[in-house]
Structure 1
Amino acid sequence: MPAITQEMIRASYDIAKQIYDGAISHKDGLDELVDHYGMNRNSAGDYVHNYKCMLEARRFPRTSNAYGTEYYLQKIHEDGGRTCLLNALSALRQHIDYYEDIGNTTLHKQREICARFTKIAAVDIQEIFPSEVTEEDESLLEGKTRKVSVNVYERNPIARQQCVDHYGCKCVICDFDFEETYGDIGKSFIHVHHLVEISSISNEYSIDAINDLRPVCPNCHAMLHKKKPAYTISEVKQYLTTRPT
């Protein structure tokens, strides 16, 4: 299989964009990459598919070399702005999480590229899930705390940023706003809650930050996880509206 050159990658981006926009057919696009640039057809198909996944914030199934990843992120940002870059970064982050999990490895170069473009996209990185003591800790005689399990989707800073960009930083359950209460130190602080029960998610799942995540304050987040499966947002809201005054 011929090595994938930088020229091939640049051409694959242009052609993937034309295919996505409906300017040319998928077959004609792959034919051009194979016939004019000498790209392996399977590799050409992978890069074209990766472009579609990056625009739609879906985990892409095939690997991309470092130059390809960086070039695609750069061009997507130039062509579509910050919103499209966030989508592409969400897809890349999901790709990294998936391959590190199944391969028991660390994709150092891809992580470095993701981190660099995360800064370019002005993603607000906050440590919003401090270490919590599990209720199994026998050293506590009283006042045991309950662990809130936070899944990989809720820890994803890019998906969190997309959720906050769409819904804001006010809790969708109790309307608490940290900045309104605490001033500057509360700015942009909020948890996000994943609506989909993790046990129901297949390996092919891709997060949709707008449909799958909601901003919630830590108190409401803890209440959502008071049972398994978690309470729904409407159920916790109902507890607030029916509590005695």
Structure 2
Amino acid sequence: MLKGVSVKIELDSIKHVYELAKQVHFSGMPRGEAIKTSIENGWMGKGSTQDYIQNFKYLMNGFVYKRTMNLAGTEFFLRQILNDFGMASFTKSLRLVSEHVTYYNSLGHGRQVQTQKLVEDLIIEFSINIDEHIFPDEIDDASIVEGAKTKVLVNTYERSRKARSLCIEHYGVSCFVCDFNFENTYGSIGTGFIHVHHILDIAEIGKEYIVEPIKDLRPVCPNCHSMLHRTKPALSISALKKQLGLS
């Protein structure tokens, strides 16, 4: 049984709507017809059916979705995408779910703790790396220190997605150097996309230390991130801003 599923009809409904979403996306079924079918069979209401169909489309096309799905729906969609479309699509979809969590948490309406844990569990279960771009200071797989909300234990090449999320929740997803925002420029395909730069060069630090995401990390665009690492040790953000005439 999937995590979070306590009523069988909920899972049955999710299965049916997933199949409708595939028909809409791949077979040309009109969305209105799919929604009508779902409502008439009592699977989901109009709003939920629309959201699940749209989210499937976004997962297939590589966009970060903004409408939430429940935990059972999220896990079923991910596992079924793995079964139907293979590991590459599953890895991409898992990354998009993680980016959706970061986006949702940044809104200040609450935190999707269970969904984030689901992502972390699936990363461990399938031994995959969902990050496409890894810099020496990028972060993806360590754990927040027990009982701490703002500190993360990191060794020389360990990285933490939780630290990344805390940084983005505080500073947003615009580049701290040039203020570039991917969603503003590229629309929904850029939602939630940003790199996270470590102010202290991890390669220059000792064996391990405590990272404070708000103090030690900053969101930066890939271009500025690359330029920061053109020197060793890395340039400071203030130095790069001065070079760009932004300070």
Partners of 2:179 and 2:119 in 1: CA distance:
25
Structure-2-length-normalised TM-score: 0.55
Q: Does 1:86 align with 2:99?
A: no
After superposition, residues 10-21 of structure 1 pair within 5 angstroms as 10-21=15-26
Query: What 5-or-longer segments of structure 1 have no aligned partner?
Result: 132-151, 157-193, 232-245
- With over 3 angstroms needed to count, the CA separation of the structure-2 counterparts of 1:39 and 1:93, relative to structure 1, is same
The Cα shift of 1:230 comes to 8.3
Instruction: Give the Cα separation in 2 of the matches to 1:57 and 1:216.
Output: 24
1:59/1:198 CA distance change after superposition, 3 Å: farther
Q: Does 1:53 align with 2:38?
A: no
Q: Secondary structure at the match of 1:103?
A: coil
- 1:114 corresponds in structure 2 to 119
The C-alpha deviation readout for 1:93-147, integer Å capped at 9, x for no partner, is 121011111126331110111112223251178894289xxxxxxxxxxxxxxxx
Q: What residue identity is the alignment partner of 1:24?
A: M
- Whole-Å separation in 1 of the counterparts to 2:92 and 2:61: 6
Task: Quickly say closer, same or farther: Cα 1:90–1:230, change in 2 above 3 A.
Answer: farther
Identify the residue that residue 212 of structure 2 maps to in structure 1: none
Residue 199 (structure 1) aligns with: 180
Residue of structure 2 equivalent to 1:22: 27
1:220 to 227, 230, 242: 230
What is the DSSP-based 3-state SS (H/G/I as helix, E as strand, rest coil) of the residue aligned with 1:51? helix
CA distance in 2, matches of 1:124, 1:87: 7
- For residues 14 and 75 of structure 1, what CA distance do their matches in structure 2 show? 10
Answering whether residue 142 of structure 2 is matched by residue 129 of structure 1, we say no
Within the alignment, does 1:32 sit opposite 2:37 as a pair?
A: yes
Q: Is the 8 A contact 1:57 1:89 kept in 2?
A: no
Which region of structure 1 is more displaced relative to structure 2, 92-101 or 117-126?
117-126
Change (3 A) 1:213 1:37: farther
Residues of 2 paired with 1:130 and 1:62: CA distance?
Answer: 27
Q: Deviations over 1:178-234 (max 9, x none)?
A: xxxxxxxxxxxxxxxx8x95433447533679xx85896984273596523987xxx
The 8 Å contact of residues 102 and 192 in structure 2, kept in 1 or not, is answered as no
Pick aligned residue for 1:64 from 69, 76, 88: 69
Shift of 1:38: 4.1
Q: Is the 8 A contact 1:224 1:230 kept in 2?
A: no
CA-based RMSD of the aligned residues comes to 3.8
Structure 1 match to 2:110:
105
Name whichever of 80-89 and 67-76 sits farther off.
80-89
* Distance in 1 of aligned mates of 2:110 and 2:55: 21
Structure 1 residue identity aligned to 2:137: F
Q: Partners in 2 of 1:230 and 1:42 — Cα distance?
A: 49
| 1:144-223 matched pairs, under 5 angstroms | 155=164, 198-202=179-183, 204=188, 205-206=190-191, 219-220=229-230, 222=234
- 1:6 aligns to 2:11 (yes or no): yes
1:221-240 paired onto structure 2 within 5 Å: 222=234, 226-228=239-241
8 A contact 1:34–1:40 mirrored in 2:
yes
| CA distance in structure 2 between the partners assigned to 1:229 and 1:21 by the alignment | 50
In structure 2, distance between residues paired with 1:10 and 1:35: 16
State the Cα deviation string for residues 156-192 of structure 1 (Å, max 9, x = none).
Answer: 8xxxxxxxxxxxxxxxxxxxxxxxxxxxxxxxxxxxx
Q: Aligned to 1:96, what secondary structure does the other structure show?
A: helix
Contact residue 17 and residue 38 of structure 2 kept, 8 A: yes
Gaps of 5+ in 2: 1-6, 140-160, 166-174, 195-220
Number of residue pairs matched? 168
Q: Separation in 1 of the partners of 2:114 and 2:66? A: 17
